[in-house]
Structure 1
C-alpha cells in the first residue's frame, strides 16, 4: 500500500472516530436546539469565522433547502452593519471551535442585548461562546486528522454532521416531502427528478374520436408529432391509443377503418400530479415513448420520453 493511501485511510478513520464520539455525546441540549429553532418566528442566522464560517454557510444552505428559513451572516461584516440582518424572532447559531474567536463578539453581544436565542457550537466547555449561549452544543474531544492538532479537520467534519443532524430533525418534524424539496431545488437533475408530470407534459394533445375515420387519425398523428394519437369516447374519456404498431397490424384496409377499430384499448396512463420520474420509469419498462396524463378518465396532457431527456432526468 502506498504512503498516500495510508494517510488517506488514517485521516478518514480519525474523522470517523470523531463522528462516532459526536453521536454518543448528543443529549438533551440537541433537543433544546431543535425546539428553539421550531419556536422561532423569524430565520435561523448562522455565523462563524474562517473554516467555521465555511461550514456555517453549508449549514445555512442545508437548513434553507429543507424548509427552515436560514441565512449566513459573516461575523466581521456583522460588526460593520450586517447586524441589522439579525432581528427579534430570529435564532442565531454561532460556530467557533475554540469558542473565543474575537470576530464573533459583536454578534454574540447583539443577541444578548435584544434577547435573541443563541445556539453555540464549540469544542471548549467554559469558553466565552459556551458561557454566553442559551443552548450549548459541545463537540466532544477528538483528534484532528492532521496529527498535530492545528488543521481543522475532524472538528469541522463533526460540526458539519451536527448541522446536518439539526436540518434533518427539523425536516422530519415538519414532514418535509419530496414535493416541498423540489420547490427549493427547481434546477439541475435533482429538480428534474422531482418534477411532476404536469410540469413537463404538453396540453396540445393528439386526440380523435372513436368514430373518426383513420384518415383523420393519420393526419392528427402527423400534425402533432408525437407518433401516436389518443382515442376518446363520447364522454371525452380516453379509451384507447393508436401507435405505429397498431398501424402496422392493420395495414390491410387501414383507410377504410375507424379509430376504434385500430386502437389499443385501455392504454397506460399517469396522473399529472405524479412525479415525472415515475412516468419515465413506466415508459422505459414498457418500451413506449408516450404517456397520456389523465384525471378522472379525461386526458389533460401528453408526456413524451424526449421531454424527460430534455429536462435532464437521464
Structure 2
C-alpha cells in the first residue's frame, strides 16, 4: 500500500513539473497524437486513425511545446502549403497567433491575403478554412488563444484581425522573448496557479500588441549579428539533445559548418565553446533549483545534453571552480 501511495505521489509530482517537451512526427505516443489533433482541429478526426504527421500543426517534422501544455508551440520543418480546417459547427471560437521565425508566411482566408516577414505576426480567426504558404521557412511559432482571456478578439472584424503585425511592435517584441523563455523551461511553473498566471501574461501581451498599431520602424539588424542571434535561439531549444552538432545547425540554415563557425569566431569562441557554456549554465540553474532536488547529479547532466558524466564534472569544476555536488549543497 505504501509503495502504491508513493507511486501515486510521484505521478502527481511529475504532472506538476513544467518542462519543454518535444513531439517528433512518426514517434509520438497515441495519446499525444490525440491531444494534438484535438488542439489543431478542435476534435479528433477519424478516431484513432489520425497520424502524428497529420496532427502536428503545419504537418511539421517536429514540434517544441511544454508539459503541462500552456498553448505555446514552435513547429520545425513545416510543410507547405498547409490548410488549417475551419472550425466545425457548434464549436467554440478558436484563434491562433502565428509568427514565422525566418522566411515568409502567406496567409489566405475568404479572399483576404497577408504576407508575414520573419518575426512578424498575425492573429487568425479559425472560423473559416485558412491556407498557409511558407517560403524558405524552417520554423513557425504558434500560440493557441483563449477567447475568454481576450474579449477584444470578438470585437474585431475579420479585416481588422487579418493584418500583419510588424516585428517592431513593442508588445510583440516582449511576447517573443517571454514565449521563448517559457518554451525553454526557464521559469519553474510547477503549479497550476503559476501556469495560469503565465497564460494570463501571454494573453495580456497579445492584447497590448493588438492595441498598438503604431509600431516604430524596424531597425535593420546587421545580417551576421541577426543570424547569430537566431542560431543561438535554435541551439537553446536543442541543448538537451546529445545529437546537437554544428552540422545539424548548419543544415537548418542551409549554410556550411564553416559559416556557422565563422559567425561564432567573430565573438572569439567556437560553436562547441558556446554549446558547452550554455549547457553548464543550465546545469548550474538546475542544481540551484529546489524543484530539481529530486534529480540526481547524473540526471541533471543528461537532462542538459551531456553524455559523459566525468566530462560533465570536469567541465563544471573548470567553469565554476566548484563541483556539482558542492553547488547543490550550497
Which has the larger Rg? Answer: 1
Give the TM-score taking structure 1 as reference length.
Answer: 0.23
Report which structure shows greater RCO (CA 8 Å, sep ≥6).
Answer: 1
